[in-house]
Structure 1
Amino acid sequence: MAVTDEAIEKIKTMILSGRLKPGDRLPKEPDLAAQLGLSRNSLREAVKALSLLNVLDVRQGDGTYVTSLEPSLLLEALTFILDLHQDESVVELFQVRAVLDSAASGLAAQWATDEQLAELAALLDSVGPDPTVEELVANDLEFHRLIARAGGNDVLASLLDSLAHRTARARIWRGVTQEQAVERTMSEHRGLLDALVAHDVEAAKARAAVHVGGVVEWLRKAL
């Protein structure tokens, strides 16, 4: 194992063991290096790497702190990777979305409250009779975001949020070029909401997978 990788592992172990908690300030560099049996240079490189991953926050003149470690913060690095690969891997991104959306919808069917279901219904009702493709995609993004949040798993919701925004361009492209894409999307959303209201886990999972899977099928043909 490279010296820097070893340093990263040791800091990670401190966080996982609870010695360092979200918001905690790290000991001064010479003290921490001595505690971990590392050179100050390797410790410095490890801190730099972990700050790029939003695990640590280096504040000039103040010190280095553990971040909040919230999923949305830690997944920003994933968002950057998805941006780089959007054009060449968009089909694979949608395949991953189909799996995760299905799981999130199953959880929402179990745990969504009456208030959350009413919010979803109101969101769908807010779409006018003849929405633009951009309006529909914005509604679609919010619809799936609310479903993921209703499932109660913050990590899954953050992953889906990262994927959803990276695939929005392809959905606009589909709406412009595929016949009846707008009508089909609204119909599938209504069907998914019906399954959630009925708290039918398997139906919700299946409808979500079919909904996103339809985009995958279209993309394969379009590309």
Structure 2
Amino acid sequence: MILAGELAPGDRLPPEKELSERLGLSRSSLREAVKALEVIRVLDVRRGDGTYVTSLEPRLLLEAMSFVVDLHDDQSVLEIFAVRRILEPAAAALAARNADAAALEHLREVVTSVDDATDVEGLVAHDLEFHRGIAESTGNSYLASLIDSLSSHTVRARVWRGITQENAVERTLQEHHAILDAIAADDPDLASALTVVHVSGVEQWLRSAL
């Protein structure tokens, strides 16, 4: 019904009895289906009010993937970085083509908000915001949400790296400045290449540490 457009984002589902009869399901089967769709954020069950279709925004629909990613062990983080190494350079290239003045200004503010005195936790927060800003400036909300869901669950590895590896703050800031300069210069190839190096640096360090 949602895919067919009969139920739009924000619409309330028909009463349980009516819906179960229409779909030819027992009420118990219908409840299980509703629970499953609630978990993946397609439906919003409001106790005492009813069940509604969510906004179906990419951010919501990818939350379930974030949860799955978070359950994996440290070795699987390497696979997450491998996926980031594919997606984030593509995002940087798109940002170099599509970022407007406001997006560039925001990224510049993010980059200049930290310095060599920033602690590891501050650097991690900055790093997340920087990569989120690039992804959002692509104009592709699904890509931005996908990258954000992957990046947010690599925080542990980033903190670990920052604590144990020398010059992590200085190197990260230099790489961020270089990526931003390439985006601002409308150079998608350079932005992509620099991002590959940036993500691969963490990936290679993590691989050796594990």
TM (norm. structure 1) is: 0.89
- Counterparts of 1:23-42 in structure 2, within 5 Å, are 23-42=10-29
- Return 5+ residue gaps in structure 2 as ranges: none
Task: State which of 147, 150, 154 in structure 2 corresponds to 1:163.
Answer: 150
Q: Deviations over 1:150-205 (max 9, x none)?
A: 11111111111121111011111112212222222111111101110111111111
CA distance in 2, matches of 1:58, 1:31: 17
SS in 2 for 1:135: helix
Give the total of aligned pairs: 210
More divergent stretch after superposition (61-70 vs 190-199): 61-70
Which residue of 2 is the match for residue 54 of structure 1?
41
SS in 2 for 1:16: coil
Q: Once superposed, which parts of structure 1, at least 4 consecutive aligned residues long, lie more than 6 Å away? A: none
SS in 2 for 1:176: helix
1:69 to 2:56 alignment = yes
CA distance in 2, matches of 1:110, 1:185: 23
Q: Deviations over 1:68-92 (max 9, x none)?
A: 1111112221121111114231111
- Counterparts of 1:140-219 in structure 2, within 5 Å, are 140-219=127-206
Q: Is the 8 A contact 2:116 2:169 kept in 1?
A: no
Which residue of 1 is the match for residue 108 of structure 2?
121
CA distance in 2, matches of 1:30, 1:202: 57
Which residue of 2 is the match for residue 45 of structure 1?
32
Q: Which amino acid aligns with 2:83?
A: V
SS in 2 for 1:130: coil
Which residue of 2 is the match for residue 131 of structure 1?
118
SS in 2 for 1:68: coil
Q: Deviations over 1:58-109 (max 9, x none)?
A: 2223221111111111222112111111423111111111111112111111
Q: Which amino acid aligns with 1:31?
A: E
CA distance in 1, matches of 2:171, 2:143: 26
Q: Deviations over 1:121-177 (max 9, x none)?
A: 122112134222222221111111111111111111111112111101111111221
Q: Which amino acid aligns with 2:69?
A: L
TM (norm. structure 2) is: 0.94
- Return 5+ residue gaps in structure 1 as ranges: 1-13
Q: Which amino acid aligns with 1:97?
A: R
CA RMSD of aligned residues (A): 1.4
Q: Is the 8 A contact 1:57 1:67 kept in 2?
A: yes
Q: Is the 8 A contact 1:86 1:166 kept in 2?
A: no
SS in 2 for 1:179: coil
Q: Which amino acid aligns with 2:80?
A: L
CA distance in 2, matches of 1:21, 1:157: 23
CA distance in 2, matches of 1:106, 1:37: 49
CA distance in 2, matches of 1:138, 1:58: 32
SS in 1 for 2:13: coil
